[in-house]
């Protein structure tokens, strides 16, 4: 069944944006390496990107709830397209420097956070509740294809032609994504904060409203905590995976690339299976089963030295991650009131980013002792996640149809549609 014109527009804009992201994944580090041979400064580009996204997430969530989301998606994509086209011209004319690259990455990180949050918050208004799983699955599939299969090799090929070529491509793709998003419907603001009196409220007050709602809602709050733990579990093995592949599996750089490609195929399969699994098992058991699969696959990975077995396990691992992401995202979109989607989503995203940072740090420290320890620890984290999900999602989300989701699973004073700032 078609998901509607609005979804097709949003999907197209996201697909173009994700292709630019995939190109950036390869080309931006290559650009940094062409300017400096200091590994700390090259790695600093990714560190800056992560820090900026963490710092801007909460205030951006406020603006996603305050303004027309279509306008935000258009502006964020067009502006980062213009920024990258300016960077490409600077590279072409010989004016690029590491400082210019860092500044461009900070701009891209800020605008990407705005575009991603606004797109996620807008999706429930474009698709029937019963179709949210399918819609999020298609978005995830496009992202995997663009980020993992199409973008990186295209970025490497363009960089081989000219250093500015991938940057021109990224800027053009983001600008076109913004123009495509102009076809999205305009959001008619209905939340209390849309009048003149509430518009004068500080950003910090509105951020606290989102955090308070998240803390009070049993299901959505539990999903956020599980997501933070799952982020730790994800980064524990992946922070040292390149060393694990080299020393435990005996793979060279080509073999490592094939290993990652195999894992991405598992994610692509998961994007198509998620809606079917949810319809069969319901949200609760689909989420629990996917997290348990994450534990099983990492447990098997820490015991094997066979690269083929490792490839299969990693494919199943990324399949679990994709199914978990789609189901948890769809469930949040069902339960969070429209006027809070940006802020609650931002609070959830901050917890996930912190989890990734903690997991990466722990993975490096534990990997010094033995490379199998971060993988085994990640398996243990996912065991905890599956147990927490089994308990926290009991009652409100256990059925098989979309109508089984019960938004009343929160404190009485924070029921759907009420303003958390008045809950005193």
**Cα distance between residue 129 and residue 405, in whole Å:** 10
Q: Could you identify the residue written with the tokens 């072409």?
A: 92
More confident residue, 238 or 188: 238
**Cα distance between residue 373 and residue 325, in whole Å:** 25
* Cβ atoms < 10 Å from Cβ of 37: 9
19 in helix, strand or coil? helix
pLDDT at 200: 59
Beta strand ranges found along 195-294 (DSSP E): none
- Cα–Cα distances in angstroms (integers) from residue 284 to residues 37, 220, 276, 291, 393, in the given order: 49, 12, 14, 11, 6
pLDDT at 25: 84
More confident residue, 288 or 129: 288
Residue 401 has pLDDT above 50, yes or no: no
Residue 398 has pLDDT above 50, yes or no: no
Summarised one tens digit per residue, pLDDT across range 9-50 is: 999 999 999 999 989 888 888 888 888 877 778 878 888 888
Provide the percentage of residues in the chain whose pLDDT is more than 70: 89
Q: What is the mean pLDDT of residues 381-404?
A: 74
pLDDT at 360: 87
Summarised one tens digit per residue, pLDDT across range 298-349 is: 999 999 999 999 999 999 999 999 999 999 999 999 999 989 999 999 999 9
Residue 292 has pLDDT above 90, yes or no: yes
pLDDT at 246: 86
Look up residue 346 and give its two tokens. Answer: 């931002």
Confidence grade of residue 81 (pLDDT, cut at 50, 70, 90): very high
């Amino acid at each position: 069944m078609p998901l509607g014109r609005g979804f097709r527009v949003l999907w197209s804009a996201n697909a173009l944006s994700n292709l630019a992201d995939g190109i950036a994944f390869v080309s931006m580090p290559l650009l940094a390496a062409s300017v400096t041979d200091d590994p700390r400064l090259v790695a600093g580009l990714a560190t800056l990107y992560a820090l900026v996204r963490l710092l801007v997430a909460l205030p951006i969530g406020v603006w996603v709830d305050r303004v027309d989301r279509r306008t935000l998606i258009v502006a964020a994509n067009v502006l980062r397209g213009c920024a990258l086209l300016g960077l490409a011209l600077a590279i072409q004319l010989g004016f690029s420097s590491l400082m210019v690259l860092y500044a461009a990455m900070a701009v891209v990180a800020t605008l990407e956070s705005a575009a991603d949050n606004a797109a996620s918050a807008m999706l429930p208004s474009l698709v029937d509740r019963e179709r949210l799983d399918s819609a999020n699955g298609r978005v995830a599939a496009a992202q995997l294809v663009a980020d993992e299969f199409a973008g990186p090799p295209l970025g490497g090929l363009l960089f081989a032609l000219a250093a500015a070529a991938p940057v021109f491509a990224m800027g053009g793709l983001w600008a076109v994504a913004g123009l495509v998003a102009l076809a999205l419907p305009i959001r008619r603001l209905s939340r209390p904060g849309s009048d003149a009196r509430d518009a004068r409220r500080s950003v910090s007050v509105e951020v606290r409203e989102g955090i308070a709602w998240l803390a009070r809602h049993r299901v959505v709050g539990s999903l956020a905590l599980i997501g933070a733990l799952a982020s730790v579990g994800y980064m524990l093995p992946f922070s040292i995976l390149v060393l694990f592949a080299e020393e435990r599996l005996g793979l060279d750089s080509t073999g490592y690339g094939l290993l990652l490609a195999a894992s991405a195929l598992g994610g692509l399969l998961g994007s198509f299976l998620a809606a079917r699994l949810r319809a069969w098992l319901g949200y609760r058991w689909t989420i629990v089963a996917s997290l348990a699969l994450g534990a099983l696959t990492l447990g098997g990975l820490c015991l094997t030295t066979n690269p083929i077995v490792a490839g299969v396990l990693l494919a199943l691992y990324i399949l679990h991650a994709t199914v978990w992401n789609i189901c948890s995202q769809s469930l949040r979109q069902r339960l969070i009131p429209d006027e809070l989607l940006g802020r609650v989503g931002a609070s959830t995203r901050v917890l996930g980013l912190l989890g990734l940072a903690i997991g990466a740090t722990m993975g490096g420290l534990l990997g010094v002792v033995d490379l199998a320890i971060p993988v085994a620890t990640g398996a243990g984290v996912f065991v905890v996640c599956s147990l927490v999900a089994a308990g926290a999602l009991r009652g409100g989300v256990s059925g098989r149809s979309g109508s089984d989701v019960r938004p009343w699973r929160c404190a009485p004073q924070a029921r759907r549609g009420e303003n958390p700032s008045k809950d005193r």
